[in-house]
Every structure is written in C-alpha cells, then in structure tokens.
Structure 1
Amino acid sequence: MGLKIALVAGATGLVGQHLVSELLAKYDVVKIVSRRKTDFQNQSKVQEYIVDFDKLEKEGELFKDVDDVFVCLGTTMKKAKSRKQFVKVDYVYPLKLANLAKLMGVKKFLIVTAIGADREAKFFYSRVKGKLEEELVSIGLPSLHIFRPSLLTGKRQEFRLGESVSEWVSKPLSFLLVGAYEKYRPVKGKYVAMTMCAIAQEESSGVHIYESDKIRQLGKAIIQESYHETIPKGEIE
C-alpha cells in the first residue's frame, strides 16, 4: 500500500490554514502549492512547492500519485484590483488545478466556492463562482465536492476590513437565521476545513454540494465527536 497524499492550493487563507493542520493527521504527505512560502514549510509531512499559477499547466508532475486535491483559493475585488485579476484567481486557477487533477488520475477534488454561486446571479462575485462550478462539473472528475460557505469567521493572516465588519454585525444576529435562512449564518473557517478533510476520507463518486448550514452541522458534529463530553468554550457556536 502506497503513501496517502493530499495536495492543497490556497494554504495561506483562513480555511487553508486550518485544512493543512487537519490533513497532517490523515495523510502521509501533504503537498502545498503556493505563490509564496507558508508557515507549514518546516512540518515533516509537508512538501512545499512555490509555483507560477499562470503556468500551472507545466506542473503536472506535482499531481503524480496524489489521492485528493483541496482548493481553497480566493481573493476579493479590493485585493485583486480588477475583475480580470479576480477571475484569474477565483476561476482560471481552480480550473487549471481541476484539469491537472483529472489528467493525473486524482481520486477526489474538493473545492471551496461560496454561498449563492450561480452563473445567472445578479452579483459578479456569485456569477464567477457559479460559472466555475459548472465548468468543474463538465470536466468529469471522478469525485467532486463543492463547499459553499456563507461569511467565514476566524482569525486570518491578513486583515480584511469588509469581512471583519460583516462578522461583527452579523454574528449577534445569527439566531434570527433559522429554517431556510440558516445557510446564511456565518460559519467558522475551521468547520469548513474539518468537513472537507472528513469527507475526503469517505469513498465517493459523482458531484456533491454542501451548503453552509450543512457545513456548520458537520463541523459541529466533528467537534463534539472529538471532545466527547468536554468541549472547550467557544468551539461550538
């Protein structure tokens, strides 16, 4: 039996940081594909590769013997500075990764998009995410898992004013979002990471989509199972 190998793109973001930590407990090797060095470079199981994402198609060898690919890439319009650059990071790069995964026989492809992803959506951000999802499905990956979180909460490496303000405003009002509106509640980046890792350990095929409320439920269940009766304060929202 060979080594169990995961590949992660987007390891420096909120979800990606938590995800790598989760994967280190489940995989023999965790390959990180990044544009800059990460805080995980000194971990014994981590193999870090600094690549030019504009030339990802030349990096096929990195996907050799990889079991599962995890994509947590994403930017903001403010950081991207243009729609063209935003599309490159949130649409072009994930598709390149997916095509390489298919070409190299990767078993599972797991990706974070966003709540409301729809190519017919009113908002540009949601349209890009929706188009990405449709293109991913058309590639025909053996096992595709799409995670659509709402507003992500947690400690980030980079400060994002808009998201910090949204988190400050929305969290106290989350109790009002019930029933069909529960998927709009903020969700911890940690929950997204834990859910992605857990689902990757299961045998699966076809296309699977996880809305934000489902991610919260699965994340909380994993926390409860991990700590059994003693759950540290703040771990469960």
Structure 2
Amino acid sequence: MNKTAIILGATGLTGNHVLQKLIKDERYSSIKLFSRSKIEGLPTKVTQFIGDLLELEQFRSDFTADEVYCCIGTTKAKTPDKTLYKKIDYGIPVAAAKLSNDNTIATFLVISAMGADKNSSTFYSKTKGEMEHDVLQQHIKNTHILRPSLIEGDRNETRTLEFLGLTVLKVIQPLFFGNLKKYKIVNAETIAQAMIELANGTTHSEVIITSDYINAIGHNN
C-alpha cells in the first residue's frame, strides 16, 4: 500500500506514538503533520505544515489523505480560558472533520474522553460531547471516536490531579469487571495502536470506542 495519513497533535503524548508507529509502518508512504511547531529529525516520508491550527482552513489544499488521526487536546491547567479551551478541544477536531468531508477523506479518528455528553452540565464533558456530535454530522464513512479513561504515559509535563487519579485507579482497577472495564487506565501507546488498527481493519464497525475496547484492540497486535 501507499497510504497517506494526516496527524493533528503529533507533538502530544498519543499523537507522537501514532507518528512513530506510522513512520515504521510500510503501508504508509506519506505522513502529513499539521502543528504549531516543527519536529526535528523526521524521515522524508513526513511532511510538516506549520501554522495556527485554530485557522485550519488555511491548509485546505494540503489537507488530503486516506486517513486523519486527530489527537488534539488541552487541559484546564494549560488553558484556563474556557473560550480558548473550546476553540481547541471542539473547534480543531470539528474543523478537521469538515475538511476531511470536503476533501473526501474516508477515515477519521479522533480522541475524545470518557463521559463525553453534549447535554452535560460539566463544561469539559459538554465540550467533548458537542465535538463528537458535530464530527458525526460530517458523515465521514469510517468515523471512530475513542473515549479513553485516564491516559497513562511518559509526559513532558506534570499533571498532579491526573497522577493522583492514575495512582488510585491502579490500585482498584483489578476489581473492574463487566461494564466497569471501560474505567480501566489506558496507555497512550495502546490508544495509538488501536487507532491504527481501526483505520486499517475491516471488522471494527463501532463508532464509539471505550477504554475496554481500546485496550483489546491495541493489545491485539
């Protein structure tokens, strides 16, 4: 195969795992990165488009591929302003989905969050839920929305509350069975692998992918 993939958020934890895996994957001859900053030392199969992702429309003519991996996301600590937060967590994925639809990209994968609900009274959950709803409104043929629980991985930043949550979950998650499996911790690399498996598989028709399914797909390789 000579597939082309677009990655949004390749400088982040999960997005970088997707990038490194696709670089090694011989099915992909071209990888396009859209980001605010350049990543050094990448092979020639990677092309980088640098600019403001809040103005994704500027990249319309270059936004062509077989698949889009949308790994964009921020936190309350990094982006306390709710207006800017929504522009990132809602605006960028929805704009990417619209461009994907316009440019006939058949596969779109986006990382959301457990508890996403457009009718939620919680800003974070509501924002993710609205993003999911409007991404689905684009009716892209193969759309997969991943809803991980807490994400584990080596970050370049300290997230105190997230660290505490991971610590607690690691202790109690052996007790999670049945529907509780979706609350289990999921590793960022596992999410990346699951996204690639979903993009290249023919047996995964589910639109909403919870942590238990992410772990199953990502470890089945």
Q: Give TM-score scaled by structure 2 length.
A: 0.93
Tell me, in whole angstroms, the C-alpha distance in 1 between the residues paired with 2:211 and 2:5.
Answer: 24
Q: 1:207 to 1:198 in 2, by over 3 A?
A: closer
Give the AA of the match of 1:85.
L
- Deviation for aligned residue 1:67: 0.5
Secondary structure of the corresponding residue to residue 144 of structure 1: strand
SS at match of 2:110: strand
Query: Does 2:34 align with 1:33?
Result: yes
**Equivalent pairs: percent with the same residue?**
34
Equivalent in the alignment of 1:99: 98
1:47 aligns with 2:47: yes
Whether the 8 Å contact between 1:143 and 1:204 is mirrored in structure 2 is no
Contact preservation (8 Å) 1:32, 1:48: yes
- Structure 1 residues 206 and 212: alpha-carbon distance in aligned structure 2, compared to 1, 3 A threshold: closer
> Does the Cα contact within 8 Å between 2:197 and 2:218 map onto a contact in 1?
no
TM-score, structure 1 as length reference: 0.87
Work out whether residues 90 and 127 of structure 2, in 8 Å CA contact, stay in contact via their aligned partners in 1: yes
Deviations 1:183-211 (A, max 9, x none): 00111111110010011112489761111
Amino acid of the structure 2 residue aligned with 1:63: F
Over residues 120-170 of structure 1, what are the superposed CA-to-partner deviations in whole Å (9 max), with x where a residue is unaligned? 223211111111111111111121111100000011133222222221222
Residue aligning to 2:124: 125
- Number of matched residues? 219
CA contact (8 A) 2:36 2:50 kept: yes
Q: Does 1:162 align with 2:161?
A: yes
> What SS is found at the alignment partner of 1:47?
strand
Structure 2 counterpart of 1:180, one-letter code: N
Equivalent residue letter for 2:44: S
| Distance change (3 Å), C-alpha of 1:206 and 1:106 | farther
Task: Name 2:219's counterpart in structure 1.
Answer: 220
1 CA distance for matches of 2:183 and 2:120? Answer: 16
Q: How far apart are residue 89 of structure 1 and its match?
A: 0.6
* AA aligned opposite 1:61: S
Secondary structure (helix, strand or coil) at the match of 2:157 reads coil
Q: Which deviations, in whole Å up to 9, do the C-alpha atoms of 1:94-122 show, x marking residues without a partner?
A: 11111111111111001000111111223
The alpha carbon displacement at 1:38 in A equals 2.3
Contact 1:9 1:71 in 2 (8 A): yes
Offset of 1:44 from its aligned partner? 2.5
TM-superposed deviation, 1:79: 0.6
Aligned 8 A contact 2:34 2:53 in 1: no
Q: Counterparts of 2:160 and 2:43 in 1: how far apart (Å)?
A: 31
The secondary structure found in structure 1 opposite 2:74 is coil
State the secondary structure of the residue aligned to 2:105: coil
Distance 2:153 2:204 in 1: 31
Equivalent residue letter for 1:35? R
| Deviation digits for residues 55-102 of structure 1 (CA, Å, limit 9, x no counterpart) | 2112111223x1001100000011112111110110011111111111
RMSD: 1.8
CA distance in structure 2 between the partners assigned to 1:52 and 1:19 by the alignment: 21
Q: Which residue is equivalent to 2:189? A: 190
Q: Unaligned regions of 5+ residues in structure 2, if any? A: none
The residue type equivalent to 1:38 in the other structure is I
Contact 1:29/1:47 (CA < 8 Å) preserved in 2? yes
